Structure 1
Amino acid sequence: MTIILRRAQPADANALPTIERSAAALFRTDPSLAWLADSPVTEARQHLHAIKTQDIWVAELPDGVLAGFLSAEHVDNQLHIQELSVSQHFQGQGIGRKLLLAAIEYSRERELNGLTLTTFRDLPWNAPFYQRFGFETLSAAETSPRLLAILSQEIAHGLPGERRCAMCLRLTPALSNPHPTPGQTP
């Protein structure tokens, strides 16, 4: 399947809630989280604002249909992934992987320190998915106040705290001079 990854445009905002709603249907496979499939999703106007102020990539099919998106924002020299959603019909085809790799490459190009996110620790399409890309689950001591606040907000909205975690992919900064002269420390 040919997928075009590109930055989201204002015209894409109306399609993103439908993708998010479709992706959420996967929660029906876990009886204790099935209620999330029917929970409110981000409205088109909020997506429109995010498209103008944050980093959002979409996965587009050759016929113009959007299959997925990744929404993120710069915080503390890191890229924080807020949402990665792929429409149910297109799940399992590598679209989420491609979107995540685009965000990682973007972060490397901008010499960010890493990427962060919060997710379910035990759902196969959550923490285990991100671990395959090098994300590490943060202990409470390693979790920044910003990520702790996000986790607290999620718990306040009904997500089970014992199943949530913060994750980070630390990026190694590129050397400014990969070929140092003799006696120069890289």
Structure 2
Amino acid sequence: MTYLIREANAQDFARLADIEKAAAILFSEVGLPEIAEHDPTDLDFIEAAARAGVVLIAVLDGAPAGFLLAAPLDLHTHIYELSVHPAHGRKGLGRQLVEAVCDWAEKKGDQAVTLSTFRDIAWNGPFYASCGFEEIARHEWTPALLLAHYREEGAGLPMERRCFMRKNLH
């Protein structure tokens, strides 16, 4: 299977929620049913990410299979969401999307790509580590990362399982 990875357009945005909802169901299998039940990313945020950064979509035979939302946070590109429909999982699509956003960030001159994730879920922390990301020690957090941490905490995420990660591009 060959996926086409391209920048999403406004017509694609409404189709992303179905992918995110399908992918979120996997969190029930690792003891996080509240994430599976959470509303998908709202259209306003997707549009804002597209204006300030990039929304990448992976398409197979004209149908969306996965997507990635990234936009600036501090001086880096930050991955806000990566979702792959389970029907397309475990085929390297998530890695292709991560590589595509890293290439995009490097071309625009960013020094690094950051993200927030669960450190102990196979398709989260260990997956990103296999893509070259490293956990950011708390004493290295910027004010923006600290605010993101507070937002996640306020949303009720289990913070002992969360971490920020960074991949240096140069």
Is 1:44 aligned with 2:43? Answer: yes
Q: Which amino acid aligns with 2:38?
A: S
**How high is the sequence identity, in percent, across the aligned residues?**
38
| Higher helix proportion (structure 1 or 2) | 2
Structure 1 residue aligned with 2:23: 23
After superposition, give the CA deviation of every residue in 1:34-91 in whole Å (9 maximum; x if it has no partner).
Answer: 22111111133542443344311000012x1000000000233310100000011111
Mark the runs of 5 or more structure 2 residues left unpaired by the alignment.
none
Which residue of 2 is the match for residue 67 of structure 1?
A: 65
Provide the secondary structure at the position in 2 that maps to 1:124. Answer: coil
Q: Give the CA deviation at 1:12.
A: 0.2
Is the contact between residue 16 and residue 44 of structure 1 (CA under 8 Å) also seen in structure 2?
A: no
1:8 matched residue in structure 2: 8
1:111 paired residue number: 109
Whether contact under 8 Å (2:55, 2:70) holds in the other structure is yes
Tell me what 1:54 maps to. Answer: 53
Going from structure 1 to structure 2, the CA distance change for 1:65 and 1:152 (only over 3 Å counts) comes to same
Normalised by the size of structure 1, how large is the TM-score?
A: 0.87
8 Å CA contact 1:121, 1:163 repeated in 2: yes
Runs of 4+ in 1 over 4 A off after TM superposition: none
**Corresponding residue of 1:157:** 155
Equivalent residues, number: 170
Conserved in 2, the CA contact under 8 Å of 1:114 and 1:171? Answer: yes
Match of 2:167 in 1: 169
Unaligned runs of 5+ in 1: 173-186
Q: Work out whether residues 13 and 45 of structure 1, in 8 Å CA contact, stay in contact via their aligned partners in 2.
A: no
Determine the structure 1 residue equivalent to 2:131: 133
Give yes or no for contact 2:54–2:71 (8 Å, CA) kept in 1. Answer: yes
Structure 1 residue 109: deviation in Å?
1.4
* Distance 1:47-1:76 versus aligned 2 partners, 3 A rule: closer
The superposition leaves residues 115-134 of structure 1 with CA deviations (integer Å, 9 ceiling, x where unpaired) of: 01100010011111111121
Q: What CA deviation, in whole Å up to 9, does each residue of 1:133-170 have, x standing for no partner?
A: 21110111012121111111111101011001011111
